[in-house]
Structure 1
Amino acid sequence: MKKIISALLIATTALSFSACAKQEKLAGTIKIDGSSTVYPITQAVAEEFNKENPDVNITVGISGTGGGFKKFVVGETDINDASRKVKSEEAEKAKANGIDMMELEVAYDGIAIVVNKDNNWVDDITTEELKKIWDKDSKVVYWSDVRPEWPKEKIKLYGPGTDSGTFDYFTAEINGEEKRIRTDYTASEDDNVLVQGIAGDKYSMGFFGHSYYEENKDNLKALKVNGVEPTTENIRNGSYKPLSRPLFIYVNTKSLERPELKAFVKFYLENAKDLVEQVGYVPLEDAKYTEQLNKIK
């Protein structure tokens, strides 16, 4: 009798563990969109998360920070990748639509000023010269319009589109006002398009997230800004100014009630330090990741 009872207890315990395992198995769909700058981090997190949770379908789009917020504030996505903070008008639209959001900082990044690899006349540029080139009222056509000793060759300019958080940040910091910029440049929300354009034109210049430069440094050259190189350490300590910035994800708090999304965000923050570095960005300090984790707990 004791053996029978013991066997029944073992079987019951095994069934309980089995039931728990089934309950803990995650499934569902997570919709993410937004910044092309934050995309490589979120995509890396999604791939690692799916190794442990293959039944969770995660889509990561690249509409730019602003383009992503347009979807996020009406409830079309669960998470918005953002290379800038949410704007007041975006937050108001979200509130009007009953969307409550949580801001989570995930990494640091710098905006790289890049030129063609064969450019041998400039290694360093000032913020005043960048404004002279990129401002809405710019009269610069040739490189020699910036410094007389530079070649009298037309500058071909490349940069993010107007839905990009990088675009907003750059124009605010360099030109003094968000979205204030000359219009005769090649714009794209896809940073790879910008990389290819600059790599193919000796007299080009562009700007985008530092990680994309790191990925393509064999074909491009990054300029010092005010004498400071856009290195990982200079971005982390803030000396690469004014073009260093934090990166964010914004999470729909209603979506956080779903176990698969809460598990994903928790996984994101627990593994961000390693994954951020792997894809060429600068991790936050340990205490900051702990602080973000405490928010979702």
Structure 2
Amino acid sequence: MNKRILTALLLAAALVVSLVGCSSQTGGSKPVEDAKTQFKSEMKFYGSTTLAPVISQLSTSFNEHYVTWDKVDSKFDKKDIAIYVSGAGSSAGVKSIIDGVSDFGMVSRKVTDEEKAKIEGYQEFKLGMDALTISVNPKNQLTKLKDSLTTEEIKKIFAGEFKTWNDVDPSLPKTEIVVVTRDIGGGAHEVFQKAIMGDTKVRADVIQAPSMGALVTKIIENENAIGYASYGMVNQNKGKLVPFKVDGIESTSENILNGTYKVSRPLIVLRKGDMLPQEKAFMDYVVSDEGMDVIEKLGFVPNK
């Protein structure tokens, strides 16, 4: 190719690039919006498997009512509302906030001072209360003999000192007790350990359920099983579980709120730093009277 022609082509190409660059800077075309100023239509909740169905129900109700964010507030963009909820345990919920991988953490236990110190701009929303009921299958013969277990009896069952139901009461058959817990490192077990077990460890062969729903299912499926089922889950499965009183105290909403039922726990949503306006709009709905009604309908004690 002739050198003059090649030089002319290169100069023309350079001129086109230069003109495109100038037009993007001077308004000839719309500038790319900074990611930080873009409207965030999604939010992520991560943590407690007890709270996950609650937030899922609340997000579904919120989404069905508004559909797009501009219907929530005319100042918001017309984008689909997308609220994602994943259950992985309370401790995982706290860690997700510390690591900045979720927008909100779901926790069904107290948050420690050490954990709070790791979360800059710590915010906490208490949605209500739950309790861990010591529950069995309705076919379990122990339910015909008593309606209450002492802390010491529960400790001996979960530690493996009582290995068969006959150890609990001589009139019962020598059938092995099947003990079900949440994962030992999770928030639910931490609550149970402090309230009931103290320094005593649960038996080594305990069945560790991956979620509260899985724990409840194990009890429903096995008449020899016993576990600490969530108060909310018991209410959602009426007739399928029989909760015992603990030291003569029944797990009623009143006893859970006033603290006389000893195995109770808070239901909390965590946040690091300030919320975006759309995040605040959803959390305002969660803690509203309508949101509290949803929590109550799911069997928990709302924070009214």
Partner of 1:280: 299
- Deviation for aligned residue 1:163: 4.2
Partner of 1:252: 272
Alignment match of 2:59 (pick from 26, 40, 46): 46
Mapped contact 2:137–2:219 kept (Cα < 8 A): yes
Moved >4 Å (runs of 4+): none
Mapped contact 2:54–2:298 kept (Cα < 8 A): yes
Alignment partners' CA distance in 2, 1:69 and 1:246: 14
Q: Work out whether 1:147 is the aligned partner of 2:169.
A: yes
Secondary structure of the 2:64 match is: helix
Alignment partners' CA distance in 2, 1:180 and 1:80: 28
Aligned Cα root-mean-square deviation (Å): 2.0
Q: Work out whether 1:128 is the aligned partner of 2:152.
A: yes
Mapped contact 2:110–2:265 kept (Cα < 8 A): no
Alignment partners' CA distance in 2, 1:226 and 1:150: 21
Secondary structure of the 1:81 match is: strand
Alignment partners' CA distance in 1, 2:224 and 2:137: 7
Mapped contact 1:164–1:189 kept (Cα < 8 A): no
Partner of 1:61: 86
- Deviation for aligned residue 1:77: 0.6
Gaps of at least 5 residues in structure 2 are 1-38, 68-79
1:112-191 equivalences under 5 Å are 112-122=133-143, 123-135=147-159, 138-177=160-199, 180-191=201-212
Q: What TM-score results when the alignment is normalised by the length of structure 2?
A: 0.76
What amino acid does structure 2 have at the position aligned with 1:67?
A: A
For residues 15-38 of structure 1, what are the alpha-carbon distances to aligned partners after superposition, in whole Å with 9 as ceiling and x for unaligned? xxxxxxxxxxx8611110111112
Say which one has the larger Rg.
2
Q: Work out whether 1:264 is the aligned partner of 2:288.
A: no
Alignment partners' CA distance in 2, 1:264 and 1:189: 28
What amino acid does structure 2 have at the position aligned with 1:236?
A: L
Partner of 1:83: 108
Alignment partners' CA distance in 2, 1:147 and 1:62: 38
For residues 1-56 of structure 1, what are the alpha-carbon distances to aligned partners after superposition, in whole Å with 9 as ceiling and x for unaligned? xxxxxxxxxxxxxxxxxxxxxxxxx8611110111112232122211221244222
- Identity level (%): 31
1:229-244 equivalences under 5 Å are 229-239=250-260, 241-244=261-264
Gaps of at least 5 residues in structure 1 are 1-25, 286-297
Mapped contact 2:94–2:270 kept (Cα < 8 A): no
Q: Work out whether 1:198 is the aligned partner of 2:198.
A: no
- Deviation for aligned residue 1:70: 2.1
For residues 179-222 of structure 1, what are the alpha-carbon distances to aligned partners after superposition, in whole Å with 9 as ceiling and x for unaligned? 94223111123222222211121211111211111111222211
Distance 1:87 1:236, change over 3 A: closer
Mapped contact 1:36–1:190 kept (Cα < 8 A): yes
Alignment partners' CA distance in 2, 1:183 and 1:53: 49
Partner of 2:6: none
Q: Work out whether 1:228 is the aligned partner of 2:249.
A: yes
What amino acid does structure 2 have at the position aligned with 1:183?
A: A
